[in-house]
């Protein structure tokens, strides 16, 4: 009996039934055999040394591919568990898996959870196992066998139930596990690994379930890749907005008070207020009318808008007021701005009508997804809705996009791409039902982008349920893609709310609505900026712009206060460090707080109406007249981050 294997280049070859991936690789070349760590048959990973028993499309997974890394990380998870079991025979296991940058295993112990302090011991045990290089044997367990094997392990038992019958697993000595998928044939590939951290993780990700200890690790085939990875992780830590937010006292989130509900401390609030004032001024200058609308509304509003039908799982449950009224926290501001539109009879002369607000909204994000300011449950969106006549869509879209790009320049955001999101043509029933609307609006957005000469990519199936959109994707400091701004067309809400304007023909017409956010939510935007600037905010955003340090508190305080007054009058945010500390210490601390300008003032400066200026990040000090300094910093602030 022979089987037919199709290779990625469509070339086909017959092999004897039961041939292994390893044998096929050897047949092609020695170097391929050396690099191979697993196979992928018809899209599913298979062990290098297990027989192939049917025809299929085969890919050989090698060390230099992403999938090769995945196999390595699956092997890492397995060996981690094997080492833990040897060290702590009473340990229970939850899930273990390869993730995008390494692997993890969830564990639980009655007496003494595995902690970060134990990682060195665990790594040592893993190295012993790897060195012994015992055979890693694929095994096939019947469900009954697996139940028997894991009968004392409460989480594992549930995983057995979900795993089907029989279960493919691996054996190393006495240790058997099926959790992490197909493994590399030999432990020797796992030479360059490290265990990284331990963090709590709820069983099945549900906060009502027990908390397990998730142990993270990573591994690479080459040592230099592991070193590179460690550098990247350190960089990520240094930029982590949650860490910087704590160090600079910008904000906090206390799960005991409310997960995903941030508190902005004065420093963070100052940054946010500066951004809010900036963006409101910018929008008002661009023809927007800013409003304030309530976060609460009658649930019927969201039934009319369709949010209740299509967006409910992201919404907080309604509040039953006991008198028949149901109040809902808004997940979006659109229905509110529609109320503003509807409050008057609108004429074509008023269009485009641009309603904007720093609109607070609430979304019930999953607790596992919450992260600092980056993903929260209460957020304030730099929101706006433009109501236009159909023939104004293209122009208005271009105007909004120009505003967005202008704002980006002020923040010195240069790394972004455009994504035009369409509905999924294979799944149209998921979307608002109007083919003509979809086709027409998608065409208009595309035409506008082309007229502006911008590059973009088109993403089918990424549209909102009410219309196509343009997302502006930025890269975070750590390289992750994130949506910062959006422009979304909507032909549906005007229909649902029966919006009209009186045309110059005297008849009623339906406007088109454009949803747009420029810098997105204050929360996510500030988290982005913290990481981008590593906490060293440009002068116009810095909570404290100037720190004044008198050389001698008795002699120089009056002059310093006088300086502060002048600076405050010029609109600057100034602090005096009047503590009884050494000057060197105060200067260092101002650097730690990343204050853009530290000014030291002693006899010399007082005599010459001057200041000794030290810029953040620089070691040298320059003497300037106080007047010049104020003029130049004010000019710098006026230029934002350009």
Contact residues for ligand ATP, defined by CB under 6 A: 363, 365, 375-376, 379, 381, 483-484, 486, 517, 520-521, 523-524
The nearest distance, CB 490 to ligand ATP, in angstroms, is: 12
Span 508-567, contacts to Zn ion by CB under 5 A? 515
What is the H or E stretch that residue 160 is in? helix 154-162
Query: 289 vs 33, 168, 366, 504, CA distance in Å?
Result: 67, 63, 34, 23
495 binds, among ligand ATP, Zn ion, none (CB under 5 to 8 A by kind): none
Question: Quick one: what does residue 365 bind among Zn ion, ligand ATP, none, with the CB cut-off 5 to 8 Å set by partner type?
Answer: ligand ATP
The answer to whether 5 touches 15, Cβ cutoff 8 Å, is yes
Measured CA to CA, the distance from residue 471 to residue 456 in angstroms comes to: 10
Kindly state the smallest distance separating residue 214's Cβ from ligand ATP, in Å: 23
Q: Which two tokens stand for residue 450?
A: 């082309």
Contact present, 437 and 491 (Cβ < 8 Å): yes
310 is in an annotated binding site: no
Per partner kind, with CB cut-offs from 5 to 8 A, the member of Zn ion, ligand ATP, none near residue 515 is: Zn ion
The residue (of 493 and 637) whose beta carbon lies closer to Zn ion is 493
φ, ψ (nearest 5 deg) of residue 363: -135, 135
334, interface contact from ligand ATP, Zn ion, none, CB < 5-8 Å by kind: Zn ion
Question: Structure tokens of 381?
Answer: 């969106």
Which residue, 72 or 279, is less far from Zn ion as judged by CB? 279
Among candidate residues 56, 71, 496, the one with its CA nearest the CA of residue 302: 496
Q: Which of 429, 410, 393 is nearest to 516 (CA)?
A: 393
Cβ proximity to Zn ion, 382 vs 442, nearer residue: 382
Interaction partner, residue 524 (ligand ATP, Zn ion, none; CB < 5-8 Å by kind): ligand ATP
From the list Zn ion, ligand ATP, none, pick the one residue 375 interacts with, judged by a Cβ distance below 5 to 8 Å according to partner type.
ligand ATP
Query: For residues 250 and 484, which CB has a smaller minimum distance to ligand ATP in the complex?
Result: 484
Question: Please, which residue, 194 or 360, has the CB nearer to ligand ATP?
Answer: 360
Question: Quick one: what does residue 404 bind among ligand ATP, Zn ion, none, with the CB cut-off 5 to 8 Å set by partner type?
Answer: none
Q: CB-wise, 60 or 493, nearer to Zn ion? A: 493
Give the residue with the Cβ less far from ligand ATP, 39 or 520: 520
Looking at beta carbons only, is 361 or 613 nearer to Zn ion? 361
Strands 263-264 and 251-252: antiparallel
Beta carbon of residue 253, minimum distance to ligand ATP (angstroms, whole number): 12
| DSSP single-letter state for residue 375 | B
Q: 610 and 626 in contact (C-beta within 8 Å)?
A: yes
Q: From the list Zn ion, ligand ATP, none, pick the one residue 531 interacts with, judged by a Cβ distance below 5 to 8 Å according to partner type.
A: none
Q: Which does 74 bind (CB under 5 to 8 A by kind): Zn ion, ligand ATP, none?
A: none
Judged by beta carbon distances under 5 to 8 A according to partner kind, the member of ligand ATP, Zn ion, none in contact with residue 567 is none
Minimum CB separation of residue 513 from Zn ion in Å reads 8
- Of the candidates 342, 322, 330, 343, the one whose C-alpha atom is nearest the C-alpha of residue 303 is 330
Q: What 8-state DSSP symbol labels residue 299?
A: H
Contact map string, positions 314 to 353, toward Zn ion, x by CB under 5 A: --------------------x-------------------
Distances (CA, A) of 626 to 378, 600, 608, 622: 43, 11, 9, 12
Measured torsion, CA atoms of residues 371, 373, 375, 376, in degrees rounded to the nearest 10: 100
Distance between CA atoms of residues 124 and 457, nearest Å: 48
Contact between 275 and Zn ion by CB under 5 A: the answer reads no
Least CB distance to ligand ATP at residue 540 (A)? 22
Give the nearest distance from C-beta 108 to ligand ATP in angstroms.
30
What residue 381 binds from Zn ion, ligand ATP, none (CB within 5 to 8 A, per partner kind)? ligand ATP
Pairing between strand 353-362 and 289-290? parallel
CB nearer ligand ATP, residue 520 or residue 535:
520
- Spatial CA neighbour of 168 closest among 47, 76, 250: 47
Quick one: which of 478, 534, 474 has its CA closest to 236?
478
290 carries a ligand binding annotation: no
Are 169 and 181 a contacting pair, CB within 8 Å?
Answer: no
Please say whether the beta carbons of 484 and 516 come within 8 A. Answer: no
* Closer residue to ligand ATP in complex, CB, 58/514: 514
Tell me the closest approach of the beta carbon of residue 317 to ligand ATP, in angstroms: 17
334 assigned to a ligand binding site: yes
Dihedrals φ, ψ of 354, to 5°? -110, 110
* CA neighbor of 107 nearest in space, from 215, 230, 259: 215
Smallest separation, CB 471 to ligand ATP (Å): 8
Greatest alpha-carbon span in the chain: 100
Least distance from C-beta 534 to ligand ATP, angstroms? 21
Q: What is d(CA 7, CA 10) in angstroms, rounded to the nearest whole number?
A: 5
Q: Rounded to the nearest whole angstrom, what is the least distance from the CB of residue 520 to ligand ATP in the complex?
A: 3
Our CB check for Zn ion shows the closer of 392 and 488 to be: 488
Structure tokens at 414: 């240069």
Indicate the SS3 state at residue 26: helix
The closest alpha carbon to 572, from 528, 633, 510, belongs to 633
Q: Which is nearer to Zn ion, 516 or 614 (CB)?
A: 516
CB of 298 to ligand ATP, least distance (A): 22
Taking CB under 5 A as the rule, which mask of x and - marks residues 57-76 in contact with Zn ion? Answer: --------------------
Q: Tell me which residues in 141-200 interact with Zn ion (CB under 5 A).
A: none
Report d(CA 160, CA 169) in Å as an integer. Answer: 11
Q: How far apart are the first and last CA of the chain?
A: 71
Q: Closest approach of Cβ 196 to ligand ATP, in Å? A: 26
Give me the residue label for tokens 């949803």: 515
Binding residues for Zn(2+): 334, 385, 515
Q: Provide the binding-site residues for Zn ion, judged by CB under 5 A.
A: 334, 515
Binding residues: 334, 385, 515
């Amino acid at each position: 009996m022979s089987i037919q294997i199709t290779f990625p280049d469509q070339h086909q070859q017959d092999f004897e039934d039961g041939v292994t991936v390893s044998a096929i690789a050897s047949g092609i070349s020695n170097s391929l055999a050396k690099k191979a760590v697993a196979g992928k048959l018809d899209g599913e990973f298979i062990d290098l040394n297990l027989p192939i028993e049917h025809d299929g499309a085969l890919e050989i997974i090698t060390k230099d591919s992403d999938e090769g890394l995945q196999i390595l990380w699956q092997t890492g998870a397995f060996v981690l568990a094997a080492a833990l079991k040897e060290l702590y025979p009473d340990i229970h296991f939850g899930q273990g898996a390869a993730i995008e940058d390494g692997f993890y295993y969830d564990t639980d112990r009655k007496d003494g959870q595995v902690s970060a302090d134990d990682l060195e011991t665990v790594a040592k045990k893993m190295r012993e196992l790897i060195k012994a290089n015992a055979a890693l044997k694929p095994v096939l367990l019947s469900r009954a066998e697996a139940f028997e094997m894991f009968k004392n392990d409460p989480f594992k038992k549930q995983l057995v139930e979900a795993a089907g019958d029989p279960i493919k697993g691996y054996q190393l000595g006495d240790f058997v596990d099926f959790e992490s998928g197909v493994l590399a044939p030999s432990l020797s590939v796992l030479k360059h690994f490290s265990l990284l951290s331990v963090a709590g993780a709820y069983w099945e990700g549900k906060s009502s379930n027990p908390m397990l200890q998730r142990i993270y690790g990573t591994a690479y085939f080459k040592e230099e890749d592991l070193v590179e990875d460690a550098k990247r992780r350190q960089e990520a830590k240094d930029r982590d907005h949650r860490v910087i937010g704590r160090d600079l006292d910008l904000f906090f989130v206390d799960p005991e008070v409310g997960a995903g509900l941030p508190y902005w401390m004065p420093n963070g609030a100052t940054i946010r207020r500066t951004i809010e004032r900036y963006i409101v001024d910018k929008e008002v200058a661009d023809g927007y009318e800013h409003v304030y609308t309530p976060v609460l509304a009658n649930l019927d509003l969201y039934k009319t808008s369709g949010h209740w039908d299509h967006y409910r799982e992201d919404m907080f449950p309604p509040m039953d007021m006991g008198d028949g009224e149901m109040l809902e926290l808004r997940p979006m501001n659109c229905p509110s701005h529609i109320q503003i539109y509807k409050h008057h009879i609108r004429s074509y002369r008023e269009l485009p009508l641009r309603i904007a607000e720093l609109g607070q909204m609430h979304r019930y994000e999953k607790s596992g997804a919450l992260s600092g300011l980056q993903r929260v449950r209460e957020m304030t969106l730099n929101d706006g809705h433009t109501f236009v006549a159909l023939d104004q869509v293209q122009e208005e879209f271009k105007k909004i996009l120009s505003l967005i790009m202008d704002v980006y320049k002020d923040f010195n955001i240069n790394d972004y791409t455009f994504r035009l999101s369409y509905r999924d043509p294979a799944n149209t029933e998921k979307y608002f039902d109007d083919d003509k609307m979809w086709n027409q609006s998608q065409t208009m957005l595309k035409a506008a982008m082309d007229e502006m000469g911008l590059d973009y990519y088109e993403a089918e199936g990424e549209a909102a349920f009410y219309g196509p959109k343009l997302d502006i994707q930025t890269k975070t400091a750590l390289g992750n893609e994130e949506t910062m701004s959006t422009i979304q067309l909507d032909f549906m809400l005007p229909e649902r709310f029966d919006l009209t304007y009186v045309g110059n023909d005297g008849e009623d017409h339906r406007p088109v609505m454009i949803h747009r956010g420029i810098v997105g939510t204050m929360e996510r935007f500030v988290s982005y900026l913290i990481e981008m600037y590593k906490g060293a905010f440009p002068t116009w955003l810095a909570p404290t712009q100037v720190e004044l340090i008198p050389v001698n508190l008795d002699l120089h305080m009056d002059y310093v206060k006088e300086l502060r007054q002048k600076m405050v009058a010029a609109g600057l945010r100034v602090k005096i460090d009047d503590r009884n500390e050494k000057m060197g210490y105060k200067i260092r601390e101002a650097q730690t707080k990343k204050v853009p300008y530290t000014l030291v003032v002693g006899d010399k400066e007082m005599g010459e109406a001057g200041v000794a200026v030290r810029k953040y990040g620089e070691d040298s000090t320059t003497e300037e007249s106080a007047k010049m300094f104020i003029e130049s910093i004010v000019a710098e602030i006026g230029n934002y981050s350009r």
